Amino acid sequence: MPLPPRTLNGARVGITDTTLRDAHQSLFATRMRTEHMLAVAAYLDRVGFYSMEVWGGATFDTCLRYLKEDPWERLRQLRATIVNTPLQMLLRGQNLVGYKPYADDVVDAFVHRMVDTGIDIVRVFDALNDVRNIERAAESVKHAGAHLQGAICYTTSPVHTIDGFVAYAKQLRDIGADSICVKDMAGILAPRAAEELVARLVSEVRLPVQVHSHYTSGMASMTYLKAIEAGATAVDCATSTVALGSSQPPSESLIVALAGTEYDTGIDVRRIRPASSILKQIIDNTPEYHNLIGPLQVSAEVLTYQIPGGMISNLRAQLKEMHAENRLDEILSEVPRVREELGWPPLVTPMSQIVGTQAAFNVILNERYKNISNEVSNYIRGNYGRPAGTIDPKLAARVLNGEQPVTRRPGDGLEPGMPSARKAVERFGGDEFDAISWALFPKETESYLAGKA
């Protein structure tokens, strides 16, 4: 499927508005409620964005777990309100919107239902850039008739190179990607690196290139400009009210910066004003949002720690609950050590949680690897896919205990998940959508359905 048409004539660069997904995921732990989304959705829809990212990532889980809302109903309502702009979502490959690989039948059911409900563009990534974890989701997205955007998780490490990212993008193209996204979840993509990577993707992969970054390190606006000059045709921004910090760069600044140039977005910046002022009111009047928002100044540490926006925001919230906020800095410096020992996985879901939790164990228990999480063990056994680097042999030996890690595709060898999920929701009068939620998050879905009944 080709790119959806630009919403305004003459636009050379499109903006994906992340206000309703990544912006609040990164700034206030994904807590934005559907009613607040609906209060601004129609205004955002009139702006002329290339697309609006409104679903996926951590929003599905948070809906059920914390907000006691139905993520499917949210999507239906957003689709009914947003009638001009293509809707985009973020899919974690075989992990869907969860934290571990699911069986292929769950992948198929999830993708088909979300596309039927109104998703136009599906951005698919795998935390380890292991294409085997994207294959099945890609096939489903194509079959369902949506735009497949294959995302490269950008990171820096001794084992990650521009050549490697370009080779991976070609694999994404070969499984049917309609466009490529450079996904810089931590905001560490430097302008010069973006320029080189985008130029090579444009000339060697020959698909439209979109760049996704975070403002955490303060580089994202510079990076976008260089990426656009190198041929990127779309970038991700958020309404100024929920931009900066660990969120995206503000749309308004980019629109004005590019106005009148050969990269004009075709958007009249004044169109964003109604949405940004309504959002400001909502946040000001909602303590559970503004209490979670961390400092909005540049976090220079991210350049060392490579921690994505959502991860910092969640770590801060978790430590607050444990009254252990004073150990955040120690945990942040433990993260790169754990990452190296695990073969340099990019810090993106679920690896950001897996590495972050292990780093927290290592610090809070005052002994490194005193406790090895189940997820780290499963990762070392190969159940999440293949890392780019090598896992620390001593750590691996301790976990494997003489066994060999698995080499098959992580989705293989998983029992189908839908038949038992359908049966489980029967007693609540649940439908197919509830069954999919159950297959992903049984506990949370059970308590949601029980509460509804």
Q: Give contact residues for Co ion (rule: CB under 5 A).
A: 22, 185
Sort 395 into a burial class: Cβ within 10 Å, 0-12 / 13-18 / 19+.
middle
What CA–CA distance (Å, rounded) separates 28 from 23?
Answer: 8
The smaller minimum CB distance to Co ion, of residues 125 and 168, is found at 125
Q: Dig out the tokens for 120 from the structure.
A: 């136009």
The smaller minimum CB distance to Co ion, of residues 64 and 185, is found at 185
Q: What is the chain's Cα-based Rg?
A: 21
CB of 172 to Co ion, least distance (A): 18
CB of 210 to Co ion, least distance (A): 12
Nearest residue (beta carbon) to Co ion: 22
Residue 337 neighbours by CB distance under 10 Å: 15
The smaller minimum CB distance to Co ion, of residues 141 and 185, is found at 185
What CA–CA distance (Å, rounded) separates 185 from 438?
Answer: 28
Q: Dig out the tokens for 369 from the structure.
A: 């690897």
The smaller minimum CB distance to Co ion, of residues 215 and 441, is found at 215
The smaller minimum CB distance to Co ion, of residues 185 and 207, is found at 185
CB of 354 to Co ion, least distance (A): 18
CB of 187 to Co ion, least distance (A): 9
Q: What is the DSSP letter of 95?
A: G
Phi, psi of 362, rounded to the nearest 5 degrees: -60, -35
What CA–CA distance (Å, rounded) separates 306 from 170?
Answer: 25
Residue 322 neighbours by CB distance under 10 Å: 10
CB of 399 to Co ion, least distance (A): 30
The smaller minimum CB distance to Co ion, of residues 22 and 446, is found at 22
CB of 207 to Co ion, least distance (A): 20
The smaller minimum CB distance to Co ion, of residues 185 and 315, is found at 185
CA 418 to chain centre: 24
Q: How far is CA 192 from CA 16, 217, 258, 300, in A?
A: 22, 15, 19, 18
CB of 386 to Co ion, least distance (A): 23
What CA–CA distance (Å, rounded) separates 297 from 251?
Answer: 18
What CA–CA distance (Å, rounded) separates 372 from 370?
Answer: 7
Contact 199, 233 (CB under 8 A): no
Name the residue among 11, 104, 123, 28 with its Cα closest to residue 67.
28
Place of tokens 């430097």: 190
CB of 258 to Co ion, least distance (A): 21
What CA–CA distance (Å, rounded) separates 64 from 146?
Answer: 25
Phi, psi of 55, rounded to the nearest 5 degrees: -150, 165
CB of 431 to Co ion, least distance (A): 31
The smaller minimum CB distance to Co ion, of residues 95 and 362, is found at 95
The smaller minimum CB distance to Co ion, of residues 148 and 312, is found at 312
